[in-house]
Structure 1
């Protein structure tokens, strides 16, 4: 990852207020949308890094695509959480391919 990308993440973190960040973590960790996923009736692209240490793929993307009726899963080999740096091109390519299909 480039020094510029590291600084960008730092800046984003510093621009976020602590109460908002804590509320965000609470919502992400305690809100369960699994009942709503089968109701989504449009094509959905799910992109996930294979090496996501924050939200493991088995606990999220693999379960999500089972519940979405029209899901397309793109697993990014060795991809981290957020798919930053060199992985951005892979993400953008997957997104363009999905939109064009």
Structure 2
């Protein structure tokens, strides 16, 4: 558990070559989109970013339909 908050994966993200979907809640105050979702999207070449409008930290629960729709649309491409 110690490595969860201390491991830096930024260099690893640059090596991702598979299609990648980044879904992040815009109202997430636990893990802010600016510091994590956007950074991940920019680090993973050719990733797709979906912003959960008004979504908090667990947007797959609070915005389940939007999450599922985004995931299914990504898988169909």
Give the TM-score, by structure 2 length.
Answer: 0.93
State whether structure 2 residue 48 is matched by structure 1 residue 72. Answer: yes
Q: Residue 92 of structure 1 aligns with which residue?
A: 68
State whether structure 2 residue 37 is matched by structure 1 residue 61. Answer: yes
Structure 2: gaps of 5 or more residues: none
Q: Residue 81 of structure 1 aligns with which residue?
A: 57
Give the TM-score, by structure 1 length.
Answer: 0.72
User: Structure 1 CA distance, aligned partners of 2:3 and 2:21?
Assistant: 22
Residue-pair matches, total: 76
Considering only aligned residues, what root-mean-square deviation do their CA atoms show, in Å?
0.9
1:59 match: secondary structure: coil
Offset at residue 27 of structure 1 (A): 2.4
Q: Give the counterpart of 1:38 among 14, 25, 29.
A: 14
Question: Highest CA radius of gyration, 1 or 2?
Answer: 1
